Amino acid sequence: MTATPILEMRGIDKSFGPVQVLRQVDFTANAGEVTALVGDNGAGKSTLVKCVGGIYPIDSGDYLFDGKPVTVHSPRDASSLGVEIVYQDLALCENLDIVQNMFLGRERTRGIVLDEPTMEKMASETLDRLSVRTVKSIRQLVASLSGGQRQTVAIAKAVLWNSKVVILDEPTAALGVAQTAQVLELVRQLADNGLAVVLISHNMNDVFAVADQIACLYLGRMAAQVKATDVTYSQVVELITAGRSGDLGLQAAAVAAAGNGNGSHDAGVTDLGDMNGAQ
């Protein structure tokens, strides 16, 4: 990858009170690629993503978008850059229909009146572009949709705004086999359309099915970010559980530092703190 990554985080530190959750984390996402972000529970995945999305401010480090340093203080800042996050719990309103959900908080208006025809047209164009055929009517209430369809709507909502980076937090966690395949296909489609996709997942099958790059967090440090074709399944699992695998990952001293920090309690505390902060 010689091109400038669309999203680059350099040396990110983040603490919640005395608990340091992210230490010197580097992370990049390239346009047209799926970058999987993996790591054990409490490794800092969600925190990193929330820093990218502007929900948490970063303590130190650089946030580069398209090669240029930017400051992101709120979700609105991130959206205006073109960074959209699809949350694990989906953040959809069941009492509203698909179009209403896709434009939630950013409704198109003509004067003071909602511009329904334009919103309908944009929504159906976006769904067409994603080759979504599972949804019968865009005026269907979200309450009547299946889990996979809801995920599709949530992803379409993120893509609607000509976003450049889409971050998916465990999109397949609650889905069945067929629906998972559907969503993964959609993820691949997004990357093929030229977006940078960041996929958080615990499921190695999903990761190897769609990811071009794999970034692995271990106790708040970036153990390694590698091409998916360069590593094996078991290497990634080692990276997740031990922070290193052969030449890859944190070196022994760093693992010890990450694992033990300044005292033997630190690891446990970090872990716990991260979970509190991230969930």
Partner 1 sequence: MTSTVADQTAEQSEPAPPARPGWPRRLLRAVGVQNISLVIALAVLVAIIGAQNSKFFLVTNIETIGTAVTVVGLLAVVQTVVMLLGGLDISVGSAAGLASVVSAMVFMSTHSAAIGILVALVTGVATGVFNGLVIVYGRVNAVIATLATYAGFRGLANLISNGRAQGYTGTDSTFVFLARGSIAGIPTLIWILVILALAVHLMLRYTDIGRNIYAMGGNATAARLAGINLNRYVVGCYIAAGLVAAVAGVLLTARTGSGQPTSGSQGLELQAITAAALGGVAMQGGKGTITGTILAVVLLGVLQNGLTILNVNSFWQDIAQGFLLVVAVIIQQRRRGLRAVGLP
CB of 5 to partner 1, least distance (A): 26
Instruction: Find the radius of gyration of the CA atoms of the chain.
Output: 19
Nearest to 72 by CA among 90, 91, 50: 50
Instruction: Check residue 106 for interaction with partner 1 (CB under 8 A).
Output: yes
Of 30-38, 106-114, 160-168, 260-268: span binding partner 1 (CB under 8 A): 106-114
Distance of alpha carbon 153 from alpha carbon 155, whole angstroms? 5
For residues 239 and 206, is the Cβ–Cβ distance under 8 A? no
Neighbours of 240 (CB within 10 A): 21
Instruction: Check residue 94 for interaction with partner 1 (CB under 8 A).
Output: yes
CB of 54 to partner 1, least distance (A): 11
Of 32-40, 64-72, 95-103, 160-168: span binding partner 1 (CB under 8 A): 95-103
Distance of alpha carbon 99 from alpha carbon 111, whole angstroms? 19
Of 59-67, 87-95, 164-172, 262-270: span binding partner 1 (CB under 8 A): 87-95
CB of 68 to partner 1, least distance (A): 24
Instruction: Check residue 145 for interaction with partner 1 (CB under 8 A).
Output: no
- Of the CA atoms within 13 Å of residue 134, those in its CB half-sphere come to 19
CB of 81 to partner 1, least distance (A): 14
Instruction: Check residue 122 for interaction with partner 1 (CB under 8 A).
Output: no
Of 3-11, 71-79, 145-153, 162-170: span binding partner 1 (CB under 8 A): 71-79
Binding-site member from 104, 252, 256, 272 for partner 1 (CB under 8 A):
104
Distance of alpha carbon 241 from alpha carbon 68, whole angstroms? 34
For residues 78 and 9, is the Cβ–Cβ distance under 8 A? no
Instruction: Check residue 95 for interaction with partner 1 (CB under 8 A).
Output: yes
Binding residues for partner 1 restricted to 26-45, rule: CB under 8 A: none
Instruction: Check residue 92 for interaction with partner 1 (CB under 8 A).
Output: yes
Q: Which two tokens stand for residue 38?
A: 């993996």
CB of 86 to partner 1, least distance (A): 10
Question: CA distances (Å), 165 to each of 42, 53, 80, 92, 275, in order?
Answer: 24, 10, 11, 20, 25
The residue count for binding partner 1 (CB under 8 A) is: 28
Instruction: Check residue 80 for interaction with partner 1 (CB under 8 A).
Output: no
For residues 139 and 102, is the Cβ–Cβ distance under 8 A? no
Which residues, 6 or more positions from 268, have their beta carbon under 8 angstroms from its beta carbon? Answer: none
Instruction: Check residue 113 for interaction with partner 1 (CB under 8 A).
Output: yes
Cα torsion through 217, 169, 76, 31, rounded to 10 = 70
Residues binding partner 1 (CB under 8 A): 75-76, 79, 87, 89-97, 100, 104-107, 109, 112-114, 136-137, 139-141, 144
